[in-house]
Structure formats: structure tokens, C-alpha cells
Structure 1
Amino acid sequence: MDKKKEIMLIGHLKGRKSGNTVINIGDTLILEPANTDRTEKYKCRLVETGEKELYIDYPIHLETNKTVFLLNGTQLKVNFVTSEGSVYMFQSEIVGRKKEQVPMLILHLPSKEQMIKIQRRQFVRVDTNVDTAVHPLHNDFLPFTTVTTDISAGGAAIIAPKTIIFHEGNSLEVYLVLHLQNGEYYYPRLKGKVIKVYGYNETNNKVSLQFHEMNSTDRQIILRFCYDVQLSLKKKGREN
């Protein structure tokens, strides 16, 4: 099958056309067991496409980093991020297997009416300190290191010295250090836009940023990181 083949998925929300969404070969899909209380998540890549099928490589458990073996008929919730940064979710199931150079599972591709677009405001924002390096895009300030006060897949708030003047709409670049529960570290490099500047203390401001031009892999990693933080906070709450 032609590796350049794409599926055009046209979503509808409440009867309104939401636009064209493209799943490309090589895109990352996040799978969750459906109809269960389990909160497990698996990561896989789209290898091939068919008219009513998606061919994926064997999923990897996001916590254990081990291959997951799913039986035919397994019901799943699937989400993916488009190149424009939109998140879509749909219900699916394992309908078969295919053995070629890469062993694959076959997912059922639902109709366009069953695609749900998740709005950006639905990204979970968690209060946590993430080590961050901030760099200018136009040499208008010196790079500095800091931490976030909160973060989501759509943006973050960082602490910045008052000696650096930020204005709404300013562009910059941030390097994050994300430590997942499975022990892995990720270092996404992201472009951001200043949304708001608040007074924080005598020497620092809090700067609210919106991420843009983010690829799907980085967005999925940040979604996963926020999910890990949520689980950790819930666990601490139960233990206290």
C-alpha cells in the first residue's frame, strides 16, 4: 500500500461541519480500553490505511513501556492530534491482524459522524513545576532558566524575572524537561506566544503562554505528563 496515502476524516459536531482532519501514515494514536474502569493508555503508530480500517503497529503501554497484546473484539477509545493541533477521539475495536514486515493490528475506522473533536479548552491544566529554558526568537532578551507554575497540552505559565519585559503577543521558544512515571525523560522544544503577564512577587512575573506549531508527538507527550501528574496528586490525596 502507498505509504503516502492519507484518510480524510470529516468530523461533525452537533450537526455542524468541523472541517477536514487528516490522519497521516506515521501519526501517533493513543488507545484506551473502553467500557471499563481501567485508566490504562497505550501508544501506537499508524502504519497503513484502508477504506474502513486503520493498520497500527503493536501498542506500547505508556506506564510499563511494554508491548500490549490485544485480542480481536477489544473495544477501545482512540484519540489523535492533527498537524494543526486539533484533537479527535472515536470509538473503535480490534478487528484483525496482519503480518508483513511489521506485525500489525487492524482497527475499525468509524463513520465521520462518530468522530468527536475535543476543544482546546478541554486540555487538562495541572499545577506543577517543570524545569524550563526560555529563549528569544528575535534576540530581544537573554535566555534564562525557570520553572512552570502550571502546564497543559495547550500552554503553560512560567516564572520570569521582572527585568525582562514581556508583552501580550510576544513570541519565544521554551525547552521543557518532562519526567514521566515510567522513568523516561522527554525534552520538547516548543514555540509559544505570550497571552498575559501577571505580578508574581517582588522580583518575578508570571507569564501565561500558549503553545503553537506543536507536532502531534510532543502534544501527546505533554498530555501524558499531565495525566501522570493527575494520577500522582490523586494518589497522594488518598494517602493523606
Structure 2
Amino acid sequence: MLQPGIVLTLEPFEEIDKKEEYRCKVVDIEDGKLFIDYPVSIQTNRAVFLMEGMQLAVSFLDPAASSAVFLFRTEVIARVKKKIPMLVLQDPGLNQYVRIQRRKFVRVQKAIDTAVHFDGMPPFSSLTEDISAGGAAIVLPNSVQAEPGTEAIVYGVIPSQQAEPFYFEAKAELVRTHQDEKSGRCIGSFEFKDLPYTEQQILMRFCFEQQLRLRRKGLE
């Protein structure tokens, strides 16, 4: 559950519709209090000032159960300075955490520049058919002959409208292959293995943003 080093996403509780979000890390936990480093705005990548008494909605991904997101409500109760300046949040306790179980990560159809390196084979560049924080479907060249269960390293570039592109590297396993009926291309479905928590969150956010964008355009 919550422990030092876990990344939290914060939203002003009374202003959630504005989608203003901040990111921070848990530094310490003691006596029903969460000590966090100063939050940074996800939109601007700048440190933000949160006043004492401010009500927040907090979400985090449990590293021990990567398919579960936990949500809870809290407030800023103090500022302290130990080794670094920190904010103190009230920890409402486990019985106040709301668990959202996700059987699968949100997957979106999006062409992302990738490179794949199967062990013992030359690496190749390609595009994704779809992607999620748990894996990706990637176009495989005809020259690639790999069986399900084969391990690989997948490199990808996630575009961003607010910041520099995000580059990730993930250990992956080829789960299955199939031929696309429309294009005739061979598609390999990869499952990411041991993806770092921070990178997993960035991929989750990217997929959610893509999904919202499609809804706004009336494509879903």
C-alpha cells in the first residue's frame, strides 16, 4: 500500500472539473500523516503552492497490485522542513481508500513510433496499432519470425502537447500474432514486463487523454 517513494496524483477536490493535477512523492508516513515533497503541476511542470486546509482528491497505483488504482480524499494540514521542505497531508486510513479494480489497462488505437529488439535478432523500427500501460500491438515486418513467449525490448516515443516527447524502454513478451484482415499486416501483441511505476503512470495518462480526445471529437 502507501509507502515512501510512491507517486501521488493530486486534484483540488472542489475543482476537479478543471482537471488541474499535481504530482508528488510520498517522503514519509507517520501517525496518520503523509509527508510529501512539494507538488509539481502536471500541466506546467512547475512547483505549486497549496494552502493549509486545501481539500484534495488523491489517486495512486499500488505497486503490489498494478491493476488497482486507489482513491481517497485528504487535506493539507501543515508545512514542515526536515531534510527538504514538505507538505503534510492527512491520511484517512485504509478503510477510506476506494479501490478501483482494472482487469485491463485502457487501450487506445494510436500509431506510436517504436523499435523492437528480439534477443538474437536485428532490431527493427515499426508503429503500434494500439497501446496501453500494459502492452502494445505492434506491426511486425514479414522478415520477423518469432514465436509467442519470445522476449523482447520495446522502445517507444510518446508525444506530448505540453512537454518534450517521452521516451520509454520496456521489457516485453510476445503474447500472440495475427494477420490484420484489412491491411494484411502481421500484428504482434506484446505484454510489458516490470515497467517502472512512473513510466506506467505516464502511459496510463497518455491513453486516458487520447480516449478523452476521441470522445470530444465524437468518434466514440
Structure 1 residue 205 displacement after superposition = 0.9
Alignment-mate amino acid for residue 49 of structure 1: I
Compared with structure 1, are the counterparts of its residues 142 and 119 closer, same or farther at alpha carbon in structure 2 (3 Å cutoff)?
farther
Q: Does 1:125 align with 2:107?
A: yes
Instruction: Note if contact 2:77-2:90 (Cα within 8 Å) is conserved in structure 1.
Output: yes
d(CA) in 2 for partners of 1:115, 1:166: 43
Aligned residue number for residue 197 of structure 2: 216
- Cα gap change, 1:228 to 1:143, in 2 (>3 Å): same
Give the equivalent residue in structure 1 for 2:24: 44
Aligned residues: 213
Range that drifts further, 168-177 or 96-105: 96-105
Note closer, same or farther for the CA distance 1:122–1:53 as it changes in structure 2 (3 Å cut).
farther
Q: In the alignment, residue 182 of structure 1 is paired with which amino acid?
A: Q
TM-score normalised according to structure 2 size = 0.86
Structure 1: give runs of 5+ residues left out of the alignment: 1-20
Q: CA deviation at 1:38?
A: 2.3
**1:87-124 C-alpha deviation (Å, 9 max, x unpaired):** 43121222222133422111121222223333343522
Q: 1:10 maps to which residue?
A: none
Percent pairwise identity = 38
Q: Distance in 2 between matches of 1:179 and 1:127?
A: 14
Structure 2 Cα separation of the partners of residues 131 and 85 of structure 1: 29
* Secondary structure of 2:103's aligned partner: helix
Unaligned runs of 5+ in 2: none
Match of residue 150 from structure 1:
130
Given the alignment of the two structures, is residue 34 of structure 1 paired with residue 13 of structure 2, yes or no? yes
Equivalences for residues 168-183 of structure 1 within 5 A: 168-183=148-163
Contact 2:61 2:70 in 1 (8 A): no
**Structure 1 position 162, deviation (Å):** 2.7
Hey, what does 2:40 align to over in structure 1? 60
The CA RMSD measured in Å over matched residues stands at 2.1
The structure 1 residue matched to 2:50, chosen from 66, 70, 82, is 70
Residues 31 and 76, structure 1, Cα contact 8 Å, conserved in 2: yes
The runs of at least 4 aligned residues of structure 1 exceeding 6 Å deviation read none
Residue in 2 that maps onto 1:116: 98
